Chain A
Amino acid sequence: GAVVSQHPSRVICKSGTSVKIECRSLDFQATTMFWYRQFPKQSLMLMATSNEGSKATYEQGVEKDKFLINHASLTLSTLTVTSAHPEDSSFYICSAKQGDRGPFSYEQYFGPGTRLTVT
């Protein structure tokens, strides 16, 4: 149980274009989803937290107009990187947590990640 998928696993795009990354919880309903970014040899950096049906809460320094997060259902959250630039190239990882009454409500489960390269 507690499987989280991400799509695509790898994407290359040109500077100035937008890229959408999907995160799905496959066997549980994710009340909360998190989006992280990780640069090579660095630790995870939380970008935003999203609760189903609500606006995402962004961490300080993360541009909400550039990184659009939609958590429209209990199993799907999307991250759209708008007007991507080479400095946005990174490993983007989502994670999901069930609501406070389910068997997966205490832990956070990660998707496999999406490697974005902006040329």
Chain B
Amino acid sequence: QKEVEQNSGPLSVPEGAIASLNCTYSDRVSQSFFWYRQYSGKSPELIMSIYSNGDKEDGRFTAQLNKASQYVSLLIRDSQPSDSATYLCAVRDNYGQNFVFGPGTRLSVLP
């Protein structure tokens, strides 16, 4: 059973701080990793994808991947109240179509 784990939160950070979201996965053959943001009552929105070890930056977001340790993280710099949402980590392997989602971490950015 492939598993993706995340702390459910809520993770509370003050406005302007760095929010750090973590995700671990069980399947070593996983090759593709994604972070989705889901606002309450809305569907998930893709914000980052990462395929290679290391860091990938996009604006205030940085995804970090460590395949040896089987974890992927998302850093949000200069957090804003509008970043308050649930962040879903998803993992896909190269053998099929399957995406496995974590339960999500609820982030609350306090003004």
Closest chain B residue to A108, Cβ basis = B99
- Whether A67 sits at the interface, judged by CB under 8 Å, is no
Question: Hey, which chain A residues are within 8 Å of B45, CB to CB?
Answer: 110
Closest chain A residue to B90, Cβ basis = A108
Q: Complex Cα distance A88/B74, Å? A: 34
Q: Complex Cα distance A20/B30, Å? A: 34
CB distance B43 to A93 under 8 Å? yes
Within residues 97 to 119 of chain A, which ones have a CB less than 8 A from any CB in chain B?
Answer: 97, 106-113
Question: Hey, which chain B residues are within 8 Å of A106, CB to CB?
Answer: 32, 49, 51, 92
Question: Hey, which chain A residues are within 8 Å of B97, CB to CB?
Answer: 32, 49, 51, 97
Question: Hey, which chain A residues are within 8 Å of B36, CB to CB?
Answer: 110
- Which residue of the partner chain, among A44, A49, A51, contacts B44 with CB atoms under 8 Å? A44
CB distance B88 to A44 under 8 Å? yes
Question: What mask results when residues 19 to 44 of chain A are scored 1 for a CB within 8 Å of chain B, else 0?
Answer: 00000000000001010000000011
A side interface size, CB within 8 A: 18
Question: What mask results when residues 62 to 95 of chain B are scored 1 for a CB within 8 Å of chain A, else 0?
Answer: 0000000000000000000000000010101000
Chain A contact residues: helix, strand, loop or mixed: strand
CB distance B32 to A113 under 8 Å? no
A88 → chain B closest CB, angstroms:
18
Question: Hey, which chain A residues are within 8 Å of B32, CB to CB?
Answer: 106
Question: Hey, which chain A residues are within 8 Å of B102, CB to CB?
Answer: 43
Q: Complex Cα distance A46/B102, Å? A: 12
- Whether B60 sits at the interface, judged by CB under 8 Å, is no
Within residues 42 to 62 of chain A, which ones have a CB less than 8 A from any CB in chain B?
Answer: 43-44, 46, 49, 51
- Which residue of the partner chain, among A51, A97, A112, contacts B43 with CB atoms under 8 Å? A112
- Which residue of the partner chain, among B34, B103, B104, contacts A107 with CB atoms under 8 Å? B34
CB distance B104 to A34 under 8 Å? no
Question: Hey, which chain A residues are within 8 Å of B103, CB to CB?
Answer: 43
Given contacts A43-B101, A43-B104, A49-B97, contact A107 B43 (CB under 8 A): no
Known: A43-B88, A43-B103, A108-B46. 5 other contacts (CB 8 A): A43-B102, A49-B97, A109-B46, A112-B43, A113-B42
Task: List A residues at the B interface (Cβ < 8 Å).
Answer: 32, 34, 43-44, 46, 49, 51, 91, 93, 97, 106-113
